[in-house]
Amino acid sequence: QKEVEQNSGPLSVPEGAIASLNCTYSDRGSQSFFWYRQYSGKSPELIMFIYSNGDKEDGRFTAQLNKASQYVSLLIRDSQPSDSATYLCAVFISAGTASKLTFGTGTRLQVTL
């Protein structure tokens, strides 16, 4: 079973619409959950993180976490062409001094004019 699963897409939404990106994870010990954006050939860029059940809003972005369902999502409101990128879901686990962030394969988002 994959540790972090995402639909690879592409997810195509028109400009101004809401884009909904989903992610599931397998390890119930996961402690923090992240959404990164990655443009082709570039490094992951943090959008937001969440560690408690519920919603967290930051500007046009809302992250949702449901630990019972092992599910994380990202909503992007008023999508813009500049939002077109690959969105990476990642989960952080630590135990003692050992820690790692595990990424999903990413969902490619295309915002069309």
Partner 1 sequence: EPEVTQTPSHQVTQMGQEVILRCVPISNHLYFYWYRQILGQKVEFLVSFYNNEISEKSEIFDDQFSVERPDGSNFTLKIRSTKLEDSAMYFCASTQPGHPSSGANVLTFGAGSRLTVL
For residue 107, give Cα distances in angstroms to 11, 23, 31, 74, 99: 7, 9, 22, 11, 24
Taking the complex as a whole, the smallest distance from the CB of residue 46 to partner 1 amounts, in Å, to 6
Binding piece for partner 1, criterion CB under 8 A, among 9-17, 21-29, 64-72, 97-105: 97-105
Q: Are 80 and 93 in contact (CB under 8 A)?
A: no
Decide: is 22 part of the binding site for partner 1 (CB under 8 A).
no
Task: Check binding of 21 to partner 1 (CB under 8 A).
Answer: no
Beta bridge partners of 71: 24, 66
Instruction: Give whichever of 51 and 78 is closer to partner 1, judged by the CB atom.
Output: 51
CB of 5 to partner 1, least distance (A): 11
The number of beta carbons lying within 10 Å of the beta carbon of residue 69 is: 9
- Of 31, 53, 66, 112, the residue at the interface with partner 1 (CB under 8 A) is 31
Q: Tell whether residue 41 is a contact of partner 1 (CB under 8 A).
A: yes
Binding site for partner 1 (CB under 8 A): 31-32, 34, 38, 41-46, 49, 51, 88, 92, 94, 96-106
